[in-house]
Structure 1
Amino acid sequence: MKPSMAGEPGGYSVAMETVDRLEPGDHACLTYSDPEERLDLLAAFVSRGLQLGERVMCFTDDPVAAELRQRGVPAGETVLPVQALWGEGAAPDAVAMVRHLRAERDRSPRGLRVALDMCWAARPQAGAEQLLAFENEVAKLFANGGLTALCEYDREAFDPVTLAYAARTHPRTVTAAVYHEDAVLRICRQHVPPGIRVAGMLDVSRAGVLKDALSEAVRLDPDVHLNLNHLRSLDDGAAEVIVRTAAGLPRNRHMIVVGDRQAGQTLRVAGAPGVPNLRLLVRDL
């Protein structure tokens, strides 16, 4: 059963941010339904902390360490089980969790960056009051700028009332930069590696939005990574846009396209083998 929560938070004006714009001292919320997008945003959050020299901790029961490494982010001791937040007790304890985070913050002179998988609040023994107490008390830890936190809420685990509460109790809400979204196609920014993620069905009628998104990636990224892993279909016209964009890159830059065999075949027919700047990585199903 999904936990629900009543009650109104107070005092926050919520700002939507991309994850790379979070600064030391920010307390942000991420609600997600796509696990790969969540991992992408988490990798960007961790990577930014490491760049700043902060101490980084990710509390989750999900096996994210290998996924972070695949995205070029060292995991090591960064990933910890959620229960490490409250210690030996069988049930999540908001007071113990906040006390633990305060102690970790105080012994991190260059700042502490924490990713919190809020799955613990969906456990039957947690109770809605523990989530309410945790979010209210943890907000007090951000005053001196020594802590940056990203609280992650899986939309499949929480009801809409709790998700709305979570969004309103955080000063910032993290979201992927979305270039296009409709019933059949979603194109969004991919942070690690930098580029574009496309999911759904892509045909020539939507080739214009793909071209615009790729143009943005060409402007921002040294090499453009195009993730087609969740693309269900790709037609010839859209494939030609990808090939032409890669062909227009300078000789020292590349487009790296990851997708399934069907997408790979469509890109080959569109001329991918004749473009030295295009690297095609086909995954096995």
Structure 2
Amino acid sequence: METVDRLEPGDHACLTYSDAEERLDLLAAFVGRGAQLGERVLCFTDDPVGADLRQRGVPAGENVVPIQELWGAGAQPDAAAMVRRLSAERDRSPRGLRVTLDMCWAARPQAGAEQLLAFENEVAELFADGGFTALCEYDREAFDPVTLAYAARTHARTVTAAVYHEDAGLRICRQHVPPGIRVAGALDVSQAGALRDALAEAVRLDPDVHLNLGHLRSLDDGSAAVIVRAAAGLPRNRHMIVVGDRQAGRTLRVAGAHGVPNLRLLVRDR
């Protein structure tokens, strides 16, 4: 498994996801890295991801291309046509081409299973000279386990977010844009150790720590105290920016957030 920021020009990576926010976060990091390198970036998808990427600081709206443009005017997905299109786009990109490919086209009824197999095999030839980098996105809810296993085998890299804790009720993972931590589910003091470890790594890696509680259902007093203490321990010139709903905001204020100048609380309605 790789984190998305470790992908290099010429890599062919597979992203499997079940959380839409996490997918967008990883896409933003992948696209933003391409912009830093001066590469041309194209996002092939039918999802309106342009606005979501802009919210994450990545101006990618004009680079979002409807997925059916990959195979042109034909009514059905065609692997050979898709590879020809990507090859032509690569040849038009002297500083390198970086693409994201929403593979949900392969789950459509009109797409034959052999087209996915043919595409992943034939597209591999485009990576030989390092001028082409691709992230193929597979939604775990759209594909069966056999197809997902095949996708993992046919890619040189597999991308995932760093996960500090995951069970049926709580997920704590790395957020790339803006850099920090995302927490989803119900957070109580029994997971305080995982939360503390995640915040400690963010403090080590990031100039300012962004803590995204936007998908948190509940926050108890003990966990709020862990967050407040982590913010209070930051140097004066660094901050922790916490995004959450009104309930999380109240719990953090009770835990002493208002007395920590390094902690900035952004309350947003769900």
Normalising to structure 2: TM-score of the pair? 0.98
1:82 matched to 2:67: yes
Aligned to 2:136: 151
1:213 is paired with a residue whose SS is helix
Q: Work out whether residues 45 and 67 of structure 2, in 8 Å CA contact, stay in contact via their aligned partners in 1.
A: yes
Choose the corresponding residue for 1:167, options 152, 159, 164.
152
Choose the corresponding residue for 2:38, options 33, 39, 53.
53
- Name structure 1 gaps, 5 residues minimum: 1-15
* Distance in 2, Cα, partners of 1:109 & 1:229: 40
2:105 is paired with a residue whose SS is helix
Q: Which runs of 4+ in 1 moved over 4 A?
A: none
1:158 is paired with a residue whose SS is coil
Per-residue CA deviations over 1:207-253 (Å, capped at 9, x if unaligned) read: 11111110110111011000111111110011001011111111111
Aligned to 1:250: 235
Query: Per chain length, whose mean CA-contact separation is higher, i.e. which structure has more relative contact order (CA < 8 Å, sep 6+)?
Result: 1
1:17 is paired with a residue whose SS is coil
Aligned to 2:216: 231
The number of residues matched between the two structures is 270
Aligned to 2:163: 178
* Distance in 1, Cα, partners of 2:61 & 2:171: 33
1:210 matched to 2:195: yes
Aligned alpha-carbon RMSD (Å): 0.9
2:29 is paired with a residue whose SS is helix
- Name structure 2 gaps, 5 residues minimum: none
In structure 2, give the amino acid aligned to 1:39. Answer: L
Aligned to 1:115: 100
1:256 is paired with a residue whose SS is strand
Choose the corresponding residue for 1:281, options 262, 266, 269.
266
Single out whichever of 211-220 and 75-84 deviates more from structure 2: 75-84
* Distance in 2, Cα, partners of 1:165 & 1:120: 16
* Distance in 2, Cα, partners of 1:166 & 1:98: 17
Q: Give 1:275 shift.
A: 1.2
Normalising to structure 1: TM-score of the pair? 0.93
Choose the corresponding residue for 1:70, options 51, 55, 63.
55
Aligned to 1:141: 126
1:209 is paired with a residue whose SS is helix
Q: Give 1:183 shift.
A: 2.8
Q: Work out whether residues 50 and 62 of structure 2, in 8 Å CA contact, stay in contact via their aligned partners in 1.
A: no
